[in-house]
Amino acid sequence: MVPIIYITFVPWFIPIVVARQPYLLSASPNTHGAPVSNPLSSSFAGFGIESTNLFAFTGAESPNNFSIQLFQNLANYAGAPPHIRLGGNTQDYMLYDKNHDGWYWKWNENSKAQGAYAADSVIYGPRFFEALERLPARTPVTFGLNLAYSGNDYREQIVKAAKAARDGMRKVRLYSFEIGNEVDLYLQNEMRRPPWDGNVYKNHFLDRAQAVYDKVLKPAGLPSTFFEAPATASTMGNSFEIAKLVKYGLLKPWNGLKFVTAWNQHDYFYFISVTPGPLSLDRVMNLDGTNSQFAYWKTQVDVGLNTGLPYVLREMSSVGPIGEKGVSDTFGAALWTLNFFLYAATLDISSVQMHMTDNSFAAAWQPTEREGTVPYIRPQYYAHAAMAQIIGNGNGTTQIGVLDTYEVDRAYKGRIRAYAAYSRGDLQAYILINTKPANASQPNRGSYHFELEWPEWALGQQVYHSYLSAPGADSTDGVTFNGIAFSNENGKPSEVDAREHTTQIDRNAISTIALRDSEAVILRLGKKLGVDPVVPTTDFTPAPKKKKKGGAWSRTSEAWKGMWAAVFTTTLVIAAYATDLIAPR
């Protein structure tokens, strides 16, 4: 007999999965106590742009209208532009010079600083911020300052850069500062000499934060808690772990002031020449591997949230440092990206930035011509579009809950993920992801069948299907989301499939769907995803700080008071089984 996967919420615990014969047992618990994320910021799913690559993405003397349109699309879908972290290795090579008037950065002919790449090797000027201003209005920006530079004038240099950032961002919004990039690697990169550890770093960080606050933030009426720390590559087993930095006093008043506003760390699912074992698309698409790889970071998230500060992942991607052709530039990596955004949301990570360089096969698009290849959009961009529409659907109230799918059929182990999306406290959609590899050349594509139970008040309603699909997992083009494709010429969206894919909820409150291998779908109740107006949001306040067990999350503003007071009940059941038949459309 065909096994069925049964998922239901219980009010004090995580959703449970058990394999059963083809019948369903269900309860109707109160899901107000179900584990769900904070309401997601409209800018949650963002990008990191390597500092020296800014001109490639936004343009030099002439704007890069292709890139700018791609950023704007996501702002239109989500209600706010994606959060941009402007930083990376090169932020620790750069000094600001107000007299450098070029639409480019240049090498410092008088470089004298330490470092495998000298900490004063790059000069940038005011045009840098003019280029940054081309991003969509209200784009929140985390700006990376240089900690590596340690010349006698280090305070003067960091203050100059911070002041230029403050004054140069008028249309876009300066959200926070980083001080230093991946400081746990400073000895390896020859940016510091021993002794260098988390305790020494704490002193260097707070000293510079004090200077920036006194000279830049305070005169502008901005708070001292404006800095994200520690922007580490990995803290595993070293003195840069969050708990150790707290012990060293990073959060304690320094001259009477506190400076840290969020915990900031970096990660890559696979980093070439660092991660053990061979890299393959199949490895990326096994989502159990993501949970395993991120397990240590998850402990850091929990420790960070328990300090009362939010946690952000400002540098992330499937493959680092610059991706891998045939892996990170494929549709399979796009499915990984969508899953990671949803997974991170359920951990109460407040923001995720997928890192981009102009030469990276992991960037969501190639912004300029390189080696005879004109700019084009990679499949990963479609994952950003899907996440933006999921977030925009709730207009600032979207919450994500994960459904336990670990007991799926053996052939699909690590390949199935399911999430629930809530808006204003009510179940609005299911998000299903099937990452079993099916390449474009594969003649017959298998499917995974799901049965989903909806609230009783939804009996008879239509469920609208919005697919994230491509010819195959290995495809680098031909991708669509929700019937939309984006132009490689101007970045604009166009409808390429106007058909409405729907199913009806039956009298047992069940709807069914067959999801093809290497595909994802968002199942919206009552309406097609993306048809409701998206209200622009202006609140850049980080999500509520401390992680709680169970219950919905609330904000303290007047607009949110009472939002979550109502108790709502649903029965959430997913039944699933595999088939080798091609899913009909």
Lowest average pLDDT, out of 8-22, 83-97, 235-249, 260-274, goes to 8-22
Q: Looking at the chain, which residues constitute the CATH 3.20.20.80 domain(s)?
A: 45-392
- Is the pLDDT confidence value at 248 over 50? yes
Q: Alpha helices, DSSP H only, in 235-377?
A: 242-248, 281-285, 287-293, 295-305, 331-346
- Is the pLDDT confidence value at 9 over 50? no
- Please state, in angstroms and rounded to a whole number, the distance separating the CA atoms of residues 548 and 556: 16
- Work out the average pLDDT over 434-443: 96
SS3 track for 421-463: EEECCEEEEEEEEECCCCCCCCCCCCEEEEEEECCHHHCCCEE
Q: What pLDDT is stored for residue 546 in this prediction?
A: 45
- Is the pLDDT confidence value at 8 over 50? no
Q: Long-range CB contacts (< 8 A, 24+ apart) of 510-513?
A: 510/451, 510/452, 510/453, 510/454, 510/573, 511/451, 511/452, 511/454, 511/463, 512/449, 512/450, 512/451, 512/452, 513/432, 513/449, 513/450, 513/452, 513/465
Q: Which of 182-186, 409-413, 424-428 has the highest mean pLDDT?
A: 182-186
Q: Are the C-beta atoms of residues 470 and 434 closer than 8 Å to each other?
A: no
Band (pLDDT 50/70/90 cuts) for residue 34 is low
List 224's β-bridge partners, or say none.
none
In the chain, the percentage of residues whose pLDDT exceeds 70 is 86
Nearest to 288 by CA among 380, 199, 414: 414
How many residues in total does the chain contain?
A: 585
Band (pLDDT 50/70/90 cuts) for residue 585 is low
Q: What pLDDT is stored for residue 455 in this prediction?
A: 87
In the chain, the percentage of residues whose pLDDT exceeds 90 is 81
Lowest average pLDDT, out of 192-206, 328-342, 445-459, goes to 445-459
What's the pTM value of the predicted model, to 2 decimals?
A: 0.90
Residue with more model confidence, 561 or 528: 528
In 180-266, beta strands by DSSP E: 227-232, 260-266
Cis peptide before 82 (omega within 30 of 0): no
For residues 178, 184, 185 and 188, what is the CA-based torsion angle, rounded to 10 degrees? Answer: 140
- Work out the average pLDDT over 94-109: 98
347 CB neighbour count, 10 Å cutoff: 18
572 SS3 class: coil
- Work out the average pLDDT over 444-469: 93
* pLDDT tens, residue by residue, 278-323: 999 999 999 999 999 999 999 999 999 999 999 999 999 999 999 9
What residue has token string 């699309």? Answer: 73
- Is the pLDDT confidence value at 430 over 70? yes
Mention every residue, 6+ apart, whose C-beta is less than 8 A from residue 310: 262, 263, 304, 350, 542, 543, 545
Q: Are the C-beta atoms of residues 335 and 286 closer than 8 Å to each other?
A: no
List 401's β-bridge partners, or say none.
420
Q: What pLDDT is stored for residue 407 in this prediction?
A: 78
Q: What pLDDT is stored for residue 406 in this prediction?
A: 77
CATH architecture group of domain 4-38+399-579: Sandwich (2.60)
Band (pLDDT 50/70/90 cuts) for residue 539 is low
Q: What pLDDT is stored for residue 553 in this prediction?
A: 33
- Is the pLDDT confidence value at 405 over 90? no
332 SS3 class: helix
Angle, CA of 68, 73 and 77, to the nearest 5°: 150
Q: What pLDDT is stored for residue 2 in this prediction?
A: 32
- Is the pLDDT confidence value at 363 over 70? yes
How many angstroms separate the Cα of 517 from the Cα of each of 80, 280, 338, 460, 473?
32, 18, 15, 28, 9
Q: Are the C-beta atoms of residues 345 and 50 closer than 8 Å to each other?
A: no
Q: Are the C-beta atoms of residues 135 and 68 closer than 8 Å to each other?
A: yes
- Please state, in angstroms and rounded to a whole number, the distance separating the CA atoms of residues 117 and 110: 14
Superfamily the domain 45-392 falls into: Glycosidases (3.20.20.80)
* pLDDT tens, residue by residue, 49-72: 999 999 999 999 999 999 999 999
